[in-house]
Amino acid sequence: MHALAVEQLRKVYRSGFEALKGVDLSVEEGDFFALLGPNGAGKSTLIGIVTSLVNKTAGRVAVFGHDLDREPEAVKASLGVVPQEFNFNLFLPVEEVVVNQAGYFGIPRREARRRAEFFLKKLDLWERRRSEMRLLSGGMKRRLMIARALVHRPKLLILDEPTAGVDIEIRRAMWDYLRELNAEGTTIILTTHYLEEAESLCRNIAMIDQGRISAVAETQTLLAGLDIETFVLNLTAPLAGAPGLDGFTLTQLDDTTLEAQLHRGQSLNDLFAALRSVGIEVASMRNKQNRLEQLFLEMVDRGRGAAAAQAA
């Protein structure tokens, strides 16, 4: 069953800006799905419509088979959302935020308190349960938004930039928890600017740009489609200039550093062998760009090029 099915979704804001231009998208139950796109691509509008925070102009949204127009209560009961921006009453204590949210979903007070304790402990916030929201750090607020979104135990969790502004240690802990939730059966959709996050967590990815879905595929399939990968090579000895090697594009960054671009089908072993043949030894190496990021930029360029050609 589809956890989320979106058909021909359109959104035109009052200003006349068309944020979504007929989006079709489906996410399978149990999936860990990433929605990627540049700023203004339509990600937050899409999530806003699915979570009833934005009114759609046209199209259809269904969550676990429930139509948003006909069965809004069933749709909302299945959904948990972690928005991009903080949306708290800053003067409420942490625990009350979670307990009240449970109450809004019709969970009795005693059960709400029990669940709040469970999720606040799980997200390492229990010690701060009596603190007012405004006294929490950014990372704590992000974790609290996750606790709040989970308190009614949704089957589909949607996270809009969940780790923005969160330090690496907390981000890793949040990733672990999201993996755990997904393993327990919660379908997860996230948008992120940290493409490493999507590459590390998500099984499937949709790319959205200028209000249209430009690609949907398994993460590994998308990565396999990469044309070029760029590596930075640290050399054992300084060089006077970048060597010319057939089939490889090399650029010298400084005396002991080269940048190498490998096309699909070329292997690192071939590159190392070619370098060794001209007397260059590699001491260490790193991938210059996140692979998904590179793919994303390629796809955006391709999509915009096609749109420009169509317009001409």
Give the footprint of other proteins on this chain (CB under 8 A): 13-14, 48, 51-55, 72-74, 76-79, 81, 83, 85-90, 96, 100-101, 103-109, 148, 152-155
Q: Which is nearer to other proteins, 89 or 137 (CB)?
A: 89
Indicate the residue among 51 and 182 with the shorter CB distance to other proteins.
51
Shortest Cβ 186–other proteins spacing (Å) = 10
Closer by beta carbon to other proteins, 85 or else 246:
85
Name the residue nearer to other proteins (CB basis): 185 or 279. Answer: 185
Q: Which helix (H) or strand (E) holds 310?
A: helix 291-311
Nearest approach, Cβ of residue 23 and other proteins (Å):
16
In whole angstroms, the minimum distance from the beta carbon of 92 to other proteins comes to: 8
SS3 state of residue 39? coil
| Per-residue tokens: 289 | 């760009």
Backbone angles phi, psi at 165, to 5 degrees: 75, 15
DSSP state, residue 55? -
What is the closest distance, in whole angstroms, from the C-beta atom of residue 177 to other proteins in the complex? Answer: 19
Strands laid side by side in the 228-235 sheet: 249-254, 257-263, 228-235, 282-287
* Nearer of residues 73 and 169 to other proteins, judged by Cβ: 73
As measured in angstroms, the least distance from the Cβ of 70 to other proteins is 14
Pick 84 or 289: Cβ nearer other proteins: 84
Q: What is the DSSP letter of 289?
A: S
Work out how close the CB of 155 gets to other proteins at its nearest, in angstroms, rounded to a whole number: 6
Here the tokens at position 64 are 């676990």
Task: Closer to other proteins by CB, 103 or 243: give it.
Answer: 103
Query: What is d(CA 283, CA 149) in angstroms, rounded to the nearest whole number?
Result: 48
Question: In 3-state terms, what secondary structure has residue 5?
Answer: strand
What is d(CA 54, CA 45) in angstroms, rounded to the nearest whole number? 7
Q: What is the DSSP string of 130-185?
A: TSBGGGS-HHHHHHHHHHHHHTT--SEEEEESTTTT--HHHHHHHHHHHHHHHHTT
Residue 305 C-beta: closest distance to other proteins, Å: 31
- What Cα–Cα distance (Å) separates residue 236 from each residue in 185, 231, 255, 261? 49, 16, 10, 20
**Identity at 236, one-letter amino acid code:** T
User: Cα(170)–Cα(137) distance, rounded to whole angstroms?
Assistant: 12
Question: Closer CB to other proteins, residue 158 or residue 195?
Answer: 158
* Beta carbon of residue 257, minimum distance to other proteins (angstroms, whole number): 47
- 213 closest CA partner among 45, 76, 91: 45
Measured from the CB atom, is 43 or 76 closer to other proteins?
A: 76
Least Cβ distance, residue 82 to other proteins (angstroms): 10
